[in-house]
Homo-oligomer: A and B are copies of this chain.
Amino acid sequence: MSGSSIGSIFRVTTFGESHGVALGVTVDGCPAGVPLDEKIIQKELNRRRPGAHAPTDADGKATGSFAYQDIGTLNPAGTARKESDACEILSGVFEGKTTGTPIAVVVRNENQRSADYGDIARAFRPGHADFSYQSKYGARDYRGGGRSSGRETLARVAAGAIAKALLATRGVSILAWTSEAAGVTCETFDADEIEKNDLRACDAEAAKKMRERVVELKARGDSAGGIVECRITGVPAGVGEPVFDKLDAELAKAMLSVGAIKGIEFGAGFESARMKGSEWNDPMRAGESGPQFLSNHAGGILGGISTGAEISFRVAVKPVPSISLPQKTIDADGVEREIEIHGRHDVCLCPRIVPVAEAMAAIVLADLLLRNRASRA
């Protein structure tokens, strides 16, 4: 089983390095007949693009006054990475629909030639995977993190767009947002607010405070972490494959496979540790359209199988490791060094993790929904 693939039936394989020729993905096992074209994929890629998240006003227009890149993506000095990230479908789609054969999507890297890696080529950046890759493979593509770069998530988002297109035919929808960033927590939940602020927070007031903190951290050359939440609706009861490929187990794997994510909890999550059974158990009642749960501490999953209730989870996002403050490290020769990382870097990953988390959730659900077709004779 190759490490760059995920899913059993709906099988996603990503490839590509940050500064290589291209990044891309193949999705094998997507059923025939799903409406798909490059626009559908591009729309999701644009949500993930650095600096591309222009917050919108109530009419959905970019406000212009409050640009995402201000707080992180763009180097104020100027030289931002301007990738159009335009995708091309190479196969698997014919006359506007999937054919059942593998769908390959490629995005070419435009800024392949970085000026000079100097230090970074030799020194192991703290908080990055430089040392662990070197240890594993005996060598590494040091340009921009190579395979371990967050840029790899671009391929996941493309695959997620395909998964979402399939899920849409089933009435399943996925929504993620930032619920905490740079120490600021959302107090209210307003779904309409999410795409309007540059943190993708669900609370306009909190979003403003988050932004202030982020700007402050950026000025200091530092970075911040946060929490992203996700909610999935429309999944019928019965999805998930015990005992190892449980719905929560697969979602946990998918989320933890994102470099910046360090934890996940479902429903009541870690708070479960402090609850009594009489509090935690979600009572059931007969609802109009089937059984209903009167609470949702289970996060919509029991025994690893969906219950029909909303699926909910939260992930912890670590602070961006690339900071311009001096850090202690060693280089490939084992010599102790101090390193400062300059260039175009995010300060807080949460707003970009939002589409990635949605994509990974979509991939998992697409796969488990297809697998569930084999549950009954």
Contacts and interface: CB of A to CB of B under 8 A. Distances in A.
Range, interface on chain A? 35 or more
A20 interface: yes
Interface of A is mostly: mixed
8 contacts: A3-B244, A17-B92, A32-B376, A132-B301, A249-B254, A257-B304, A265-B270, A370-B374
Nearest to A3: B241
Interface in A250-270: 250-257, 259, 262-270
B263 A257 contact: no
Nearest to A148: B303
A285 interface: yes
Contact of A139 (B8, B32, B224, B308): B32
Interface in A83-107: 88-92, 94-95, 97-104, 106
Contacts of A147: 91, 99, 101, 242-243
A306 interface: yes
Interface in A299-338: 299, 301-308, 316-323, 325, 327-330, 334-336
A32 B136 CA distance: 9
A31 B375 contact: yes
Contacts of A91: 15-17, 20-24, 147
A284 B126 contact: yes
Q: How many copies of this chain does the complex contain? A: 4
Residue among A181, A274, A290 with max Cβ neighbours from chain B (10 Å): A274
B133 A305 contact: yes
Contact of A244 (B146, B238, B253, B262): B253
Nearest to A347: B277
Given A13-B28, A316-B273, A139 B97 contact: yes
A1 to B, nearest CB: 4
A137 interface: yes
Contact of A281 (B262, B280, B327): B327
